[in-house]
Amino acid sequence: MSIVVIRIGTRGSALALWQAQHVKTRLEVLGHAVTLVSITTTGDRLIDRRLELVGGKGAFLKEIEEALLARSIDLAVHSLKDVPTTLPAGLRLVAFLERADARDALLSANGQRLRELPHGAVLGTTSLRRRAQLLAQRPDLRVEDLRGNVDTRLRRLREGRFDAIVLALAGLARLNHTAEATEILDVAVVLPAPGQGVIALECRADDSRLVAAVAPLDHGPTARCAIAERALLAELGGGCNVPLGAYAQIEHERVRLRAIVAREDGSLILRGEAEHVDPAQLGQRVAGELLARGAAALLAPPTQDLGQ
């Protein structure tokens, strides 16, 4: 039986709206009636502050999850890399859409690739994961914070504030900006964030009708990879923005997981890799190996200067 109306809560950014509209279209094909409800989150309002100071990436979910619990919406559409491993009581992730290309992309003002950027070039990213891995390749770069939605970041590059910026390829593709990428960064150079490229659906745990309605959207191989990456993240205790990358792939019915934990300046990168048929056990195993080699010290938050 079709649900009368599914109310999808979404942020108002172009990328969030694209993702919500994509899910809306797929649900409508299945015979459901769907409406979009735009919700402004803490992360959207406080764009001039570092994420870790306003609640981390969870700042982009807080108000949407509150709306779910208040029953003013029925379904939330998220970029999985923004979703903490611990969800509010009463909520659950119910579907993972087929993963888009998980790699990062370099966009430079003069069409230069990473190795071609001039000495001391200014590179924009707020991600400690990207910062660490790029500095490991090019320790001469000046890495500066870059927040805002995709269009805002592209505009700042065009305005000459940065020599280059790094964005998720999946987001560029969804907004038809792929042609602006100067270089697609191989996962051997920059390992993606856990869940990067995956759209995840969240709803109330007791909403069995909605769980059944979205079940056809769940992509089994993507779900297995997402479980492995998030199990690793949970085991490591990684917060919103830490120098940690993880990428899982299905190989001959087994899940292969690669992960890194790094020093923020790129001077030390711990790498782990394994494969297993059980994705949750795999994530825990790789995390355990990294912890045994000192990963916890690299993931500890830096001491904040409250006067800054």
> Per-residue pLDDT for 44 more than 70?
no
What is the rounded average pLDDT of the residues 293-300? 92
Residue 1 has pLDDT above 80, yes or no: no
pLDDT at 23 over 90: yes
In the sheet with 199-204, reading across from the earlier edge strand, the strands are 34-38, 6-10, 75-79, 199-204, 91-96
CA dist., res. 255 & res. 25, Å (int): 30
**Strand runs (DSSP E) across the chain, as ranges?**
6-10, 34-38, 75-79, 91-96, 104-108, 122-124, 142-144, 164-168, 183-185, 199-204, 244-251, 254-262, 269-276
Q: Considering the domain 6-97+198-218 in this protein, what is its CATH number?
A: 3.40.190.10
CATH class of the domain whose range is 104-185: alpha beta
Indicate which residues carry an active-site annotation: 82
**Taking 60 as the threshold, does the pLDDT of residue 56 lie above it?**
no
C-alpha–C-alpha distance, residues 205 and 76, integer Å:
12
Mind listing the pLDDT tens digit for each residue in 163-204?
999 999 999 999 999 999 999 999 999 999 999 999 999 999
Top-confidence residue, 241 or 234: 234
Residue 134 token pair: 């790029």
Task: Show me where the domains of the chain are located.
Answer: 6-97+198-218, 104-185, 234-299
Average pLDDT of the chain is 91
**Is residue 269 within 8 Å of 262, Cβ to Cβ?**
yes
Angle at 61 between CA 192 and CA 191, to 5 degrees: 5
301 vs 71, residue with greater confidence? 71
Residues 132-173: pLDDT tens digits? Answer: 999 999 999 999 999 888 999 999 999 999 999 999 999 999
pLDDT in tens, 193-205: 999 999 999 999 9
Same fold, 6-97+198-218 and 104-185: yes
- The reported pLDDT for the residue numbered 3 is 59
pTM summary value: 0.90
pLDDT at res. 303: 46
pLDDT at 104 over 60: yes
**136-141: long-range contacts (C-beta < 8 A, 24 or more apart)?**
136/262, 136/266, 136/267, 136/269, 137/189, 137/266, 138/114, 139/265, 139/266, 139/267, 141/117
**Using CB atoms within 10 A of its CB, is residue 239 exposed (0-12), middle (13-18) or buried (19+)?**
middle
pLDDT higher at 296 or 3: 296
3 or 50: whose pLDDT is higher? 3
CA dist 225 and 214 (Å) reads 19
CATH homologous superfamily, domain 234-299: Porphobilinogen deaminase, C-terminal domain (3.30.160.40)
Beta carbons within 8 Å of 226's beta carbon, 6+ residues apart = 80, 96, 99, 195, 198, 200, 248
Give me the sign of the Cα torsion angle 251, 181, 77, 246.
positive
pLDDT at residue 42, as a whole number: 66
